[in-house]
Structure 1
Amino acid sequence: MAPLRRLRLCLLLALLPPPPAAPAPAPAPAPGPLRPPDWAACKVLSRELSRLLAAVREPHPVLEGLQLLEDEPQNWPPRIRCSDACDPPSLESNHTRCLQRVRQALQHYRDLLGSDIFREQPQPQLQSAVERLLRHVPDGHGRAPRPLLAPTLLWEQPVHRHRALNRLRSFAALIGRVFNHSAR
């Protein structure tokens, strides 16, 4: 009897009209020159982000001093490298590459702060600070594709949250130096 039901279901599905086609994506705007960043606002906002991060307390005291050794996961933020030209002499001549990398990382942290690892311990002030900073960092030539964050198990969330906050603290210190230098 079960094969007959499957056959009926297949026949019914074949008679259904096809789903409507998805609208064509809008063409990407032609890359143009980056608008100049508001260095002073970025400096203030990066300091605020660092201040907020310093105030975040670990709900599990055992994680406070924990240093994790790990293989590099694919879905962690873009790292700022020497080739990104975020050093003071490079920033004075051309800041485009550095700001693109900063923006990519900020977008990643915004997504991470809104992910399931922060569901139990949401950080709305951090999310807001990252969003405000993103509004002041010029948009480069589109967003680099980012892998979706895999759902985590409930017991993994505190460890992932701890790791994410530590990396965000390091990143905030670095961009604080970039914006402090450039705001002079």
Structure 2
Amino acid sequence: MAPLRRLLLLLLLVLAVLLLPPPAAPAPAPVRRPDWAACRILSRELSRLLAAVKEPPSALDGMQLLEEPQNWPPRIRCSDACDPLALETNNTRCLHRIRQALQHYRDLLGSDIFRDQPQPQLETTMEQLLRHVQEGHGRAPRHHLPPTQVWQHQLHRHLALRRLRSFAAVIGRVFNHSAR
């Protein structure tokens, strides 16, 4: 009778194991999101600082480069999903593009075209904003951009600041929407 009892206990154990629900899968690591409120404040500060940058009277306003430099910052495009509807569902692509552009503008501000007109406050604010947007992505290395001809510095600086102002307006909208 003892072997029958063991067999019955073994059978009950097997049934219990088969009928128990499987153990819950471990919860995925939480995705770290940027501090939207801090990003909104910093993007406003970036816009304020850009408005305060003094440039010589602009004979350069109508000038365009025939060919854009290879080291020019990326632009936010419609396909980057930075519009309010896309931000509600998935902001990964938009944040990636913002991070990429912030890194590039940071590197551009540290390049030779700003050597004779450095913008330390602008660089600091951009670095702080980049740190907030980098959440969970590690620290972005600085890239040294190839030098440009001295005679090109003023035009490149003017165009870079104009594009940076436009970029700051776009990210200001993104961060303002996301911080709500």
User: TM-score, normalization: structure 1?
Assistant: 0.74
Secondary structure of residue in 1 paired with 2:161: helix
Aligned length: 152
Distance change in 2, residues 1:38/1:95 (3 Å): same
In 1, Cα distance between equivalents of 2:139 and 2:83: 23
- The structure with the largest alpha-carbon Rg is 2
In 2, Cα distance between equivalents of 1:141 and 1:134: 11
Instruction: Identify which of 165, 168, 174 aligns with 1:178.
Output: 174
Structure 1 partner of 2:20:
none
Structure 2 partner of 1:48:
45
Structure 1 partner of 2:120:
124
Letter matched to residue 88 of structure 1: P
Letter matched to residue 86 of structure 2: S
C-alpha displacement at 1:73, in angstroms?
2.9
Unaligned runs of 5+ in 2: 1-28
Structure 2 partner of 1:66:
62
Is this contact kept in 2: 1:36–1:138, CA < 8 A? Answer: no
Percent of aligned pairs with the same residue?
73
User: TM-score, normalization: structure 2?
Assistant: 0.76
- Measured against aligned partners, the alpha-carbon deviations of 1:71-99 in whole angstroms (never above 9, x if no partner) come to 33322112211111101011011111100
In 2, Cα distance between equivalents of 1:161 and 1:134: 21
In 1, Cα distance between equivalents of 2:141 and 2:123: 21
Secondary structure of residue in 1 paired with 2:59: helix
Unaligned runs of 5+ in 1: 1-31
Over aligned residues, Cα RMSD in angstroms?
2.3
- Structure 1 stretches of 4+ with a deviation exceeding 4 A read 139-148
